[in-house]
A and B are shown apart, each in its own frame.
Chain A
């Protein structure tokens, strides 16, 4: 492919990203710092047909996951029918007993799903992880696209790319669909949250109010937002970017100071929509991940379109045997950890580490999953003017409104370090725009 005009404008785009404050926050030595999220101008390009296939598979997967959450906190048929062993549900830290028997408005639990995929060298796409709690990242390609178009209009004349700036409209649609009557707000833990830029940017683009917990109040079984003139404005939908545990000190963690007391009680009564619904962690647990293809078949009666990365559960004897025999070829993940932590590669351990790990694995087999190391299809990035290959994943966004919608873009993250497989932004690394070709 001929060099795009856009590549020459990488610095300009990064400068503009800085200008608009596109940052994420991190804590270093207990001090809050804001860091720019480095942008690489070489896009990930997905063809029209290929994306149609992904779109179909993603809709299918998230539909099944949503049904699973509904079932787990309801009739639990999937447990009764022994498709998912109950210990994986109840021992999961994402399972919340408080959600038992609670119906989500419009039956939607996973309003915004961030599904992480990788592409293997064989061209096959694999699902790495489902994120159904508060997945972040959509704002970055959204604003990057805006700025890329500004920096290099020529590129966007030459290529026919699906516009990804419709994300805000899609999100608004989802929020309006479940709104129980009143304003829509985005609830942020505050300015010192890692994803604060995203919270404020999505608020700006969707026209929702950005609020912190102290600005909302439960009164007479409804949620209100207090205006400066003292007026109480009803709120019908809360896109909350704080985790379940901190949402309501009267129902979850009692020491939470960023939540809204009793919001969960009125949610239970159907008087406000929470986006995403509490309790979703039960479905994006690394242990449950193994069962997602089975859920697709169970709930939808269909063959799963998208595959998981080949995964083994040491919980099952056969799998444990396989894991021990092929230890060096596998990557092991602690189901309780997230963000690239708790991930170890069999072949990178010392003899002692390996022995210790295997002892732990035998003691707590449910705690780990093992996966084949996928031979990633690398993507080029610009490194000091040269194009060099790096590992990258794709976070696709699936939004559940009246029906599931897949955003025709996504966040492509890459690792800066040539040897690293971990692309999480909290561990260095940058991002790319994801282009879906429209023809």
Chain B
């Protein structure tokens, strides 16, 4: 168990001003059986109206509108999280989470993933969690962390075929493998201790529980991760989505900072 201070900052700069900007943000972590969020502050600028909602995956969404001309857009989320409160999160009954069992466009397996999966033979009574763990271990051996070789549109199959990628790719591949075995599995976006970018990992359904695995770091998630959102794949967890009027080039800068708080006592 840890107590963490977190900060998420995102700045969007437009080289020419835009207007009628609509946005949906999924960048705020929520309390669950595993983490407890407190002292939360959220700032969005500029905005004409701001509202909040919970999407169909249970994520906290902020959505709003900036009508007038603006050349930058910024979001700042800060707060505290107690993490590692439990090893897993209770799941809904299995017939209710079917949507996490089927492949999406991002996770649909092709020859590379099918070949990878072909190496495994599982005992029939082996749990979903143990299978996912076996995949993760093997994936760690055979897939390399390399930045810049994939992008947000890269599918699991494409990444697997080239053998390199980042956390999004690790996660999509693991999802694809689990779903081939009919194990419900979902994509997670969140923050990892230290300074850097947002992170992605996976939650696997096993015996009525969601258990989180971080395939990029080849570990079972404990108390170093703060979860922001879940979904079937990256597409459901887009941190910042927007449309606006204006011909412009946008540059996005995002920063995540997560530090442990040491109580004086």
Touch test A–B (CB under 8 Å):
yes
Judge whether B56 and A99 touch: CB under 8 Å: yes
CB of B225 within 8 A of chain A?
A: no
Contact partners of A269 in chain B: CB under 8 A: 53
Bound Cα distance from A160 to B191, whole angstroms: 72
Bound Cα distance from A89 to B74, whole angstroms: 40
Bound Cα distance from A95 to B101, whole angstroms: 14
Contact partners of B101 in chain A: CB under 8 A: 86, 90
Judge whether A89 and B93 touch: CB under 8 Å: no
Contact partners of A218 in chain B: CB under 8 A: 65
- CB contacts under 8 Å to A, within B204-255, are 232, 236, 241, 243
Chain B 39-62 per-residue mask, 1 if CB under 8 angstroms from chain A, else 0: 000000000110101011100010
Q: Which residue of A lies closest to B23 (CB)?
A: A250
Contact partners of B53 in chain A: CB under 8 A: 265, 268-269
CB of B99 within 8 A of chain A?
A: yes
Bound Cα distance from A220 to B52, whole angstroms: 11
Q: Total A-B residue pairs with C-beta atoms closer than 8 Å? A: 62
Q: Which residue of A lies closest to B101 (CB)?
A: A90
Whether A250 touches B55, Cβ cut-off 8 Å, given contacts A90-B99, A100-B99, is no
- Residue from A87, A220, A249, A251 within 8 A of B49 (CB atoms): A220
CB of B140 within 8 A of chain A?
A: no
CB of B203, distance to nearest CB on chain A (Å) = 16
CB of B95 within 8 A of chain A?
A: yes
Bound Cα distance from A100 to B57, whole angstroms: 8
CB of A338 within 8 A of chain B?
A: no
- CB contacts under 8 Å to B, within A90-115, are 90-91, 95, 97-102
Contact partners of B96 in chain A: CB under 8 A: 75-76
- Residue from A75, A89, A101, A261 within 8 A of B98 (CB atoms): A89
Contact partners of B93 in chain A: CB under 8 A: 80
Judge whether B102 and A262 touch: CB under 8 Å: no
Judge whether A79 and B95 touch: CB under 8 Å: yes
Judge whether A262 and B22 touch: CB under 8 Å: yes
- Contacts beyond the supplied A250-B243, A262-B22: 7 A-B pairs with Cβ under 8 Å: A79-B95, A90-B101, A219-B48, A249-B243, A254-B241, A261-B22, A262-B24
Bound Cα distance from A265 to B63, whole angstroms: 9
Q: Which residue of A lies closest to B58 (CB)?
A: A101
Contact partners of B63 in chain A: CB under 8 A: 250, 262, 265
Contact partners of A80 in chain B: CB under 8 A: 93, 95
Bound Cα distance from A265 to B48, whole angstroms: 17
CB of B222, distance to nearest CB on chain A (Å) = 29
CB of B60, distance to nearest CB on chain A (Å) = 13
> What is the predominant secondary structure among interface residues of chain A facing chain B?
loop
Bound Cα distance from A262 to B57, whole angstroms: 17
Judge whether B57 and A220 touch: CB under 8 Å: no
Whether A265 touches B51, Cβ cut-off 8 Å, given contacts A80-B93, A97-B56, A250-B241, is yes
Binding site for A on B (CB under 8 A): 22, 24, 48-49, 51, 53, 55-57, 61, 63, 65, 93, 95-96, 98-99, 101-102, 232, 236, 241, 243
Whether A76 touches B95, Cβ cut-off 8 Å, given contacts A97-B56, A97-B236, is yes
Q: Which residue of A lies closest to B21 (CB)?
A: A261
- Residue from B51, B61, B243 within 8 A of A221 (CB atoms): B51
Bound Cα distance from A75 to B98, whole angstroms: 12
- CB contacts under 8 Å to B, within A53-94, are 75-76, 79-80, 86-87, 89-91
Contact partners of B24 in chain A: CB under 8 A: 250-251, 262, 265
CB of B38, distance to nearest CB on chain A (Å) = 26
CB of A261, distance to nearest CB on chain B (Å) = 4
Nearest first, the 4 A-B pairs at minimum CB distance are A100-B56, A261-B22, A80-B95, A90-B102
Q: Which residue of A lies closest to B55 (CB)?
A: A98
Bound Cα distance from A76 to B95, whole angstroms: 7
Chain A 307-320 per-residue mask, 1 if CB under 8 angstroms from chain B, else 0: 00000000000000
Contact partners of A75 in chain B: CB under 8 A: 96
Judge whether B243 and A219 touch: CB under 8 Å: no
Bound Cα distance from A80 to B95, whole angstroms: 6
Judge whether A91 and B51 touch: CB under 8 Å: no
CB of A102, distance to nearest CB on chain B (Å) = 7
The residue in B56, B65, B96, B232 that gathers the most chain A C-beta atoms within 10 A of its C-beta is B56
Bound Cα distance from A246 to B62, whole angstroms: 21
Judge whether B102 and A91 touch: CB under 8 Å: yes
Q: Which residue of B lies closest to A219 (CB)?
A: B49
Bound Cα distance from A97 to B241, whole angstroms: 18
Q: Which residue of B lies closest to A255 (CB)?
A: B243
Chain A 234-278 per-residue mask, 1 if CB under 8 angstroms from chain B, else 0: 000000000000000111001000000110010011000000000
Contact partners of B243 in chain A: CB under 8 A: 249-250, 254, 261
User: 13 pairs across A/B with beta carbons < 8 Å?
Assistant: A86-B98, A89-B98, A90-B101, A95-B99, A97-B99, A97-B232, A100-B56, A100-B57, A221-B51, A250-B63, A250-B243, A254-B241, A254-B243
Judge whether A102 and B56 touch: CB under 8 Å: yes
Chain A 298-313 per-residue mask, 1 if CB under 8 angstroms from chain B, else 0: 0000000000000000
Contact partners of A102 in chain B: CB under 8 A: 56
Contact partners of B65 in chain A: CB under 8 A: 218-219, 262
CB of A267, distance to nearest CB on chain B (Å) = 11
Contact partners of B99 in chain A: CB under 8 A: 90, 95, 97, 100
Judge whether B102 and A87 touch: CB under 8 Å: yes
CB of B260, distance to nearest CB on chain A (Å) = 35
